[in-house]
Amino acid sequence: MANIVQFENVGLRYGNGPETLSDISFALAPGSFYFLTGASGAGKTSLLRLLYLSQRPSRGIIRLFGEDAVTMPRGRLPGFRRRIGVVFQDFRLVPHLSAADNVALPLRIAGMPEAEIADPVSEMLAWVGLADQADAKPETLSGGEQQRVAIARAVIARPEMLVADEPTGNVDPEMADRLLLLFDSLNRLGTTVVVATHDIQLMQRVSGAQMMRLVKGRLQDPTGTLRHPPAREPA
């Protein structure tokens, strides 16, 4: 089966500065689950931007879903992006829309009939613990609540690929486990998942997940399979 993502000798620089990413090469198989890790400033967010097509590389080849993403006409990018769910570190919720309407956005953009939207949105808000906040505007929600709305919006349409930048950074450990279970369930349905995180313990909770590690803009130790921790003995 063809890879869903292929990077070959990709470099990225902003303006005339030094390269933020250098000689990045890797491939992601459909239905795989990857954690992207590295110290602050290593280039994780920049690599994710290349994955969800908000940034073009300075050099190299990027293929997504079997097509050349570097030379793709800009008019085709919106349709391509709809195949990718994104959880941004700064949430990027639409401020004048309620939590429910923010979550419903991908379904409406995809053309789902309005009568079929309410139930999946309600179910998703309940899953992330916000069933009672459906009508709330983003400004009235805490950072953790906004993060959960952003995650619900990213996964509701079952994208072919999910890209998440520190998705559990603003939630408590119990909710982090619940969100990780959501990502794992989506992955089991066939979605390729890439999660950027500093949390080593979080990475150990997905059996069969693999890790990519960035060090000063270069990829190190690619595709090292993470070992699933042994079950705890009952107290």
Are both 15 and 66 inside the same structural domain?
yes
Are both 64 and 175 inside the same structural domain?
yes
Burial classification of residue 232, based on how many CB atoms lie within 10 Å of its CB (0-12 exposed, 13-18 middle, 19 or more buried): exposed
Query: How far, in Å, CA of 144 to CA of 79, rounded?
Result: 30
Burial classification of residue 71, based on how many CB atoms lie within 10 Å of its CB (0-12 exposed, 13-18 middle, 19 or more buried): exposed
* 231: pLDDT strictly greater than 60: no
Confidence of residue 221 (pLDDT cuts 50, 70, 90): low
Token pair, residue 93, equals 């919720």
Are both 15 and 77 inside the same structural domain?
yes
pLDDT in tens, 135-187: 999 999 999 999 999 999 999 999 999 999 999 888 888 888 888 888 999 99
Are both 16 and 64 inside the same structural domain?
yes
- Report the pLDDT value the prediction gives residue 5, as an integer from 0 to 100: 94
Q: What is the pTM of this model?
A: 0.88
Residue 177: CATH number of its domain: 3.40.50.300
CA distances from 130 to 28, 149, 172, 205 (A): 33, 8, 14, 24
* Count of domains forming the chain: 2
pLDDT in tens, 184-207: 999 999 999 999 998 877 788 888
Are both 179 and 212 inside the same structural domain?
yes
Is 114 within the bounds of a domain? yes
pLDDT in tens, 14-36: 998 899 999 999 999 999 999 99
pLDDT in tens, 40-81: 889 999 999 999 999 999 999 999 999 999 999 989 988 888
Are both 11 and 79 inside the same structural domain?
yes
Range of the domain at 17: 5-83+159-224
Is 230 within the bounds of a domain? no
Are both 111 and 220 inside the same structural domain?
no
Are both 77 and 184 inside the same structural domain?
yes
Is 233 within the bounds of a domain? no
Q: Are strands 84-87 and 67-68 parallel, antiparallel or unpaired?
A: unpaired
Are both 78 and 104 inside the same structural domain?
no
Is 58 within the bounds of a domain? yes
